[in-house]
Structure 1
Amino acid sequence: MKKVNIGGVPEHFNLAWYLTLKEGEYKEEGINLRWHDYYGGTGAMCKALRDGDIDIAVILTEGIIKDIIAGNPSKIVQTFVETPLHWGVHVAHDSKYKAVEDLKGTKAAISRYGSGSHLMAYINAENHDWDLEKDLDFEVIKNLNGAVEGLTNGKADYFLWEKFTTKPIVDEGVFRRIDNCPSPWPCFVIAVREDFIEKNESELKTILDIINNTTIDFKDIPSIDKTIANRYEQKLEDVQEWLSITEWSQELINEKTVMNVQKELFALNIITEIVDYKDLIYKI
């Protein structure tokens, strides 16, 4: 049986992977797919791909594009979630900051440099016409628990993270969400190490076929809203709202989208060059 390591964030977006693993669908095809949760998000997964700890990552679009350009030996093989990620701009519940304009020049908590929380802090700053050199400062907090600690004890002032994941923390009165910042592109893609693609393309196609067969009808799974609410400790109405605005994909990310992401990252000085579409993707 072929062992394959895959990584992703332990969030509701990836429930389809859990369901297919639970049903033993990959083992039926001779594939021992092992899922690894990455609480540190995109930056941690980029490192895991580079180090060979995982073969496949379900990862933020902007983060993996940046890291492939920076030398990560991986390729995007598919869009996983077509719709944008809805990031919340969070402060500590008792913070003096009431509006996003108040955060200009303060310190953003980020999981690590190159992570989604880091890149989206730039997008948020650009959206509000801040000076990207003077008005941004960062504190590395590793993960969501680190953000709770960092904002509560004043090491950082605000934190961008997917708003439905942080909703329970807002409901508990730990964070306040003062604004929203949708990503201007599809949020999650599937990226694979190049050496794995070269040696295991047929197994990779099988894995994609299985997950796509589940995501294409994901919203029609009976009581899927209740399953998500229970597993991820979220309110049912929040899950239903999230499902209503989220669409999965079974297609390769298109060239126009990839170039738009690169143009945005280049304008923010997050990448140093814009590369050809074929340098970032692989068509299975």
Structure 2
Amino acid sequence: MKKVNIGGVPEHFNLAWYLTLKNGEYKAEGINLRWHDYYGGTGAMCKALRSGDIDIAVILTEGIIKDIIDGNPSSIVQTFVETPLIWGIHVAENSKFKTIEDIKGTRAAISRYGSGSHLMAYINAKNNNWNLDTDLNFEVIKNLNGAVEGLTNGDADYFMWEKFTTKPLVDDGTFRRVGVCPSPWPCFVIAVRDEYIKNNEDDLKTILDIINTTTSDFKSIPSIDRTISNRYDQEIEDVQEWLSLTEWSQDVMDKKTINNVQEQLFNLDIIPKKVDYSELVYKI
């Protein structure tokens, strides 16, 4: 049986992977797919793809595009979640900051450089007409637990993370949300090491066929809202809102979307150049 390592964030977006693994659907096809949780998010997964610790990543669009341009020998093979990610902008409950304007020029907590929390801070700054050179400062906190500690202790001032993942921390008074910032593109893609694609394209196609069958019917799975609520410790009404806002994809990301992401990242000086579609996307 062929072993394949896949990484993703331990969040509700990836429940479909858990369900297909639990059902033994990959093993039935002779594939030993091993899931690895990456609490450090996209930056940590980019590093793992580069080192070969994982073969496949379910990863934020902007982060993997930046890292491929920076030399990561991987390719995007498919969009996973078509809709934008809604980033909550959080401060500590006892923070003096009340609005997005209040956090201008303060310290953003980020999981690591090149992560979604890092790159989306630029998008938020652009949306609010901040000076990208003087109004953005960063403090690396590794993961969500690090953000709780960093904001509570005053080591950083605000933190951007997926709104529904952090909602329990808002509800229990750890964080206060001062705003939201949707990503201006489909949020998650499936990226694969080029070496793995070259040697295992048939297996990769099988893996994608299995996950796509599940995501195409995901919302109609009986009691899926309760399953998500219980597994990820979220209120049922929050899960239902999230489900109403989220659409999965079974298609490869098109050239227009890729070019739009690159254009915005380039204009923000996040990437040094724009590259051809074929350097970022591999069509299975």
Is the pair's TM-score, using the shorter chain for normalization, greater than 0.5?
A: yes
Instruction: Please give the TM-score of this superposition, normalised by the length of structure 2.
Output: 1.00
CA distance in 1, matches of 2:137, 2:144: 18
**How far apart are residue 79 of structure 1 and its match?**
0.1
**How far apart are residue 246 of structure 1 and its match?**
0.1
Which residue in 2 is equivalent to 1:60?
60
Which residue in 2 is equivalent to 1:168?
168
Matched length: 284
CA distance in 2, matches of 1:111, 1:256: 29
**How far apart are residue 128 of structure 1 and its match?**
0.3
**How far apart are residue 36 of structure 1 and its match?**
0.1
2:263 is equivalent to residue 227 of structure 1: no
**How far apart are residue 52 of structure 1 and its match?**
0.2
2:209 is equivalent to residue 209 of structure 1: yes
- C-alpha RMSD of matched pairs (Å): 0.2
Which residue in 2 is equivalent to 1:24?
24
**How far apart are residue 10 of structure 1 and its match?**
0.1
Which residue in 1 is equivalent to 2:264?
264
Residue by residue over 1:198-241, the C-alpha shift from the partner in whole angstroms, topping out at 9 and shown as x without a partner, is 00000000000000000000000000000000000000000000
**How far apart are residue 174 of structure 1 and its match?**
0.3
CA distance in 2, matches of 1:2, 1:198: 15
**How far apart are residue 86 of structure 1 and its match?**
0.2
**How far apart are residue 148 of structure 1 and its match?**
0.2
- Structure 1 segments unaligned to the other structure (5+ residues): none
Q: Residue 151 of structure 1 aligns to which amino acid in structure 2? A: L
Residue by residue over 1:42-73, the C-alpha shift from the partner in whole angstroms, topping out at 9 and shown as x without a partner, is 00000000000000000000000000000000
Instruction: Please give the TM-score of this superposition, normalised by the length of structure 1.
Output: 1.00
Which residue in 2 is equivalent to 1:40?
40
Which residue in 2 is equivalent to 1:244?
244
CA distance in 2, matches of 1:139, 1:248: 32
Q: Residue 97 of structure 1 aligns to which amino acid in structure 2? A: F
Residue by residue over 1:75-125, the C-alpha shift from the partner in whole angstroms, topping out at 9 and shown as x without a partner, is 000000000000000000010000000011100000000000000000000
Residue by residue over 1:225-264, the C-alpha shift from the partner in whole angstroms, topping out at 9 and shown as x without a partner, is 0000000000000000000000000000000000000000
CA distance in 2, matches of 1:155, 1:261: 31
SS of the residue aligned with 1:261?
A: helix
Which residue in 2 is equivalent to 1:129?
129
SS of the residue aligned with 2:146?
A: helix
1:151-166 map, 5 Å: 151-166=151-166
CA distance in 1, matches of 2:19, 2:2: 20
CA distance in 1, matches of 2:113, 2:198: 30
Q: Residue 244 of structure 2 aligns to which amino acid in structure 1? A: S
Q: Residue 203 of structure 2 aligns to which amino acid in structure 1? A: E
Runs of 4 or more consecutive aligned structure 1 residues displaced over 4 Å after TM superposition: none
Which residue in 2 is equivalent to 1:88?
88
**How far apart are residue 271 of structure 1 and its match?**
0.2
- Structure 2 segments unaligned to the other structure (5+ residues): none
CA distance in 2, matches of 1:104, 1:34: 42
Q: Residue 281 of structure 2 aligns to which amino acid in structure 1? A: I
